[in-house]
Amino acid sequence: MNKAANEMLERNKKMSPRRTIKPTILQGLLVCGRCGYCLNKSMSGSSDYIYYRCQTGKCKRSGIGQEYLDKEVWRSIIDILKAPDLIEEEVKRRLSQDNTDVFQKKKNELTKKLLNVENEINRLLDAYHWTLHIK
């Protein structure tokens, strides 16, 4: 039985989707255009062909080849780096955007978290004082 368990453990290690021997440049950055879930690196049965595919079983889209997509991304990066004016335009565009709503939303979230922490501290102090009075 121990031998069978060890064999299954080794097989699971080889088949685990979290097993990353060769990381890729887009790993963890891709999102399915249909359902919004992350795309994971997958291998064909022979493991000669690697592709990115949606991690949900609901989305029936076929994967896209890792080699093809990585080459296209690198080509785009090189094209952008060859045209520094494009980078400058994008930086200016982003700096000119009105981010007030984003910052206000983040401030509200942090204020709410701070209030929750303060309430938790007060509850802990009340409980501590209560236990002191019982003794």
CA–CA dist 135, 129 (Å, integer): 10
| pLDDT band (50, 70, 90) for residue 121 | very high
Structure tokens at 126: 């009340």
Report whether 58 contacts 50 (CB < 8 A): no
pLDDT in tens, 49-71: 788 888 776 777 778 888 899 89
Is the pTM higher than 0.75? no
pLDDT in tens, 4-62: 766 766 665 555 555 556 677 787 788 888 888 888 887 776 667 788 888 776 777 77
Report whether 37 contacts 31 (CB < 8 A): yes
The rounded Cα 60 to chain-centroid distance in angstroms is 21
CA–CA dist 55, 40 (Å, integer): 6
pLDDT in tens, 100-114: 777 888 899 999 999
Residue type, 5: A
- In the chain, where are the structural domains located? 2-97, 99-135
User: Which pLDDT value is given to residue 50?
Assistant: 81
Residue type, 110: L
Q: Which of 57, 65, 68, 17 minimizes the C-alpha distance to 35?
A: 57
Q: Average of pLDDT values for 79-104? A: 85
